[in-house]
A and B are shown apart, each in its own frame.
Chain A
């Protein structure tokens, strides 16, 4: 299965993992819905693992499992004592606090120590190109400025295993390029990264190995080119549009 060369012990191994949510279907009736049924794969130190699958395949739930936010209802997870975290932008942002205060709170929620973020503050705001707004309340920021600050803060968090959901860069065109470039460098470095996406081109460019998730099950695991070819054969390019339409329906 493992398309690449020998690697040492995995840092994370999932075996037959399933996650179910309870849903209310009547006044006293509850139904169970399995978002993940049967997922198995391993993550190795220093690699970039792509997880591909259509919308609703269970990718987001899988990320929550990897990040340790929820526990699976069945199956097993073995993990080395490493910290895995989702790259979450703008977590805990409050419009009434200043940019600086939001940066501190957000960073602390992501597990960064207060002194550490205070030391990095100038760097964060310089990267976000928001130096003159540092002590302005967040409600004076435009959407693009908030996105920039969110990215700059989130990038400070440096977990052992970085989990990325779809989006790499944010903001207006210039900043998007800058942030995407930074993420790309981080992913291609020695960092252990998991990227979730339904875009074959994104995964093709960034990942060493790929796991294909379909309707809550891990279908294949292997080298990027091999798995993407199989995935594309089953999911023609028109798919995203259909998915988008389907998503609308559900909402």
Chain B
């Protein structure tokens, strides 16, 4: 068991090292790339569509950064098994290790950007709130949610490779439904209810509450997300164990 733990870490480390070595600017891209991504959205929503206003940048950054963590992890995590086709057809590896290998690397990269967000918020003068101590809970909840979604999708994509197309478009749809660019609480009550069924919308609201408004997140909603995610993770692990020795036959090397 401990061996597998170490293996996941080392593989994540190796992936990060590889990524950094691949470009001239290396690790700088971990910051530059999200920055470029955010500039694009800032230009579109802040300037072109005139959605701006005071505090819009902080508002947008809070949403975009955590959304990016979610969306990148899902896209890469969903293909965790097929992208390791060569590996799993040569050695036996428990397949439930594959999604975590990707998620750990992705999460470390996200944390760098997230720390920069915190630094930015302090610099632009949103004072430190006591509510910031709730951040680890929000992060942990989101990590569980990401693990659940990515692992469940990873179970099925080897059997239905076409899922990949659906996932990409589904994520785009979800991006616009998660309140990254607008405040859900500005909507009529009935519509708000449906938006809050989306755990990412709820989490993004939570981050904003904690970081920008200095109030606590919606604990009940967080608790529900944690429970559902844990349940989904268990289901995914059981399925990955069940198909453990089927995947090497299904994936194309």
Q: Which residues of A contact B89 (CB under 8 A)?
A: 64, 69
B193 interface residue per 8 A CB criterion:
no
The answer to whether A114 and B10 touch across the interface, beta carbons within 8 angstroms, is yes
Q: Which residues of B contact A114 (CB under 8 A)?
A: 3, 6, 10
A67 interface residue per 8 A CB criterion:
yes
A-contact bits for B68-98, CB 8 A (1 contact / 0 none): 0000000000000000000111111100000
With A69-B92, A71-B246, A109-B91: A96-B18 Cβ-Cβ less than 8 Å: yes
B17 interface residue per 8 A CB criterion:
yes
The answer to whether B91 and A85 touch across the interface, beta carbons within 8 angstroms, is yes
Q: Identify which of residues 87-138 in chain B touch chain A, using a CB-to-CB cut-off of 8 Å.
A: 87-93
Q: Which residues of B contact A86 (CB under 8 A)?
A: 90-91
A87 to B: closest C-beta gap in Å: 10
A108 interface residue per 8 A CB criterion:
yes
**How many Cβ-Cβ contacts under 8 Å join chain A to chain B?**
65
B95 to A: closest C-beta gap in Å: 11
The contact of A94 among B18, B90, B91, by CB within 8 Å, is B18
A-contact bits for B1-42, CB 8 A (1 contact / 0 none): 001001100110010011001100000000000000000000
The answer to whether B249 and A111 touch across the interface, beta carbons within 8 angstroms, is no
User: A114 CA to B8 CA in the complex, in Å?
Assistant: 12
The answer to whether A70 and B246 touch across the interface, beta carbons within 8 angstroms, is yes
B248 interface residue per 8 A CB criterion:
yes
Of the four ranges (under 10, 10 to 19, 20 to 34, 35 or more), the interface on chain B belongs to 20 to 34
B245 interface residue per 8 A CB criterion:
yes
Q: Which residues of B contact A110 (CB under 8 A)?
A: 91
User: A109 CA to B3 CA in the complex, in Å?
Assistant: 10
The answer to whether B246 and A92 touch across the interface, beta carbons within 8 angstroms, is no
The answer to whether B245 and A68 touch across the interface, beta carbons within 8 angstroms, is yes
Closest to A110 in B: B91
Q: Which residues of B contact A113 (CB under 8 A)?
A: 3, 6
Q: Which residues of B contact A108 (CB under 8 A)?
A: 3, 6-7, 10
The answer to whether A101 and B92 touch across the interface, beta carbons within 8 angstroms, is no
Q: Which residues of B contact A67 (CB under 8 A)?
A: 91-92
The answer to whether B90 and A101 touch across the interface, beta carbons within 8 angstroms, is no
User: A23 CA to B41 CA in the complex, in Å?
Assistant: 44
Q: Helix, strand, loop or mixed for chain B's interface?
A: helix
A152 interface residue per 8 A CB criterion:
no
The answer to whether A88 and B90 touch across the interface, beta carbons within 8 angstroms, is yes
The answer to whether A88 and B91 touch across the interface, beta carbons within 8 angstroms, is yes
Most buried by A among B7, B14, B90: B90
Q: Which residues of B contact A137 (CB under 8 A)?
A: 21
The contact of A96 among B10, B21, B87, B93, by CB within 8 Å, is B21
B165 to A: closest C-beta gap in Å: 16
The answer to whether A97 and B249 touch across the interface, beta carbons within 8 angstroms, is no
B-contact bits for A95-119, CB 8 A (1 contact / 0 none): 0110001001100111101100000
The answer to whether B246 and A85 touch across the interface, beta carbons within 8 angstroms, is no
A11 interface residue per 8 A CB criterion:
no
The answer to whether B246 and A109 touch across the interface, beta carbons within 8 angstroms, is no
Closest to A157 in B: B91
Q: Which residues of A contact B7 (CB under 8 A)?
A: 108-109
A202 interface residue per 8 A CB criterion:
no
Q: Which residues of A contact B248 (CB under 8 A)?
A: 64, 69-70
With A86-B91, A101-B17, A109-B87: A69-B10 Cβ-Cβ less than 8 Å: no
Q: Which residues of B contact A68 (CB under 8 A)?
A: 92, 245
A28 to B: closest C-beta gap in Å: 12
User: A10 CA to B169 CA in the complex, in Å?
Assistant: 53
B157 to A: closest C-beta gap in Å: 16
The answer to whether B93 and A109 touch across the interface, beta carbons within 8 angstroms, is yes
The answer to whether A71 and B245 touch across the interface, beta carbons within 8 angstroms, is yes
Q: Identify which of residues 54-82 in chain A touch chain B, using a CB-to-CB cut-off of 8 Å.
A: 64, 67-71
B247 to A: closest C-beta gap in Å: 9
User: A110 CA to B10 CA in the complex, in Å?
Assistant: 13
A168 interface residue per 8 A CB criterion:
no
B210 to A: closest C-beta gap in Å: 38
9 other contacts beyond A22-B250, A91-B91, with CB at 8 A cut-off?
A21-B249, A69-B248, A70-B248, A88-B91, A91-B90, A101-B14, A104-B10, A109-B87, A114-B10
Which residues in B have some Cβ–Cβ distance to A below 8 Å?
3, 6-7, 10-11, 14, 17-18, 21-22, 87-93, 245-246, 248-250
Q: Could you name 9 residue pairs across A and B whose Cβ atoms are closer than 8 Å?
A: A19-B249, A68-B245, A69-B90, A69-B248, A88-B91, A101-B17, A109-B91, A110-B91, A111-B3
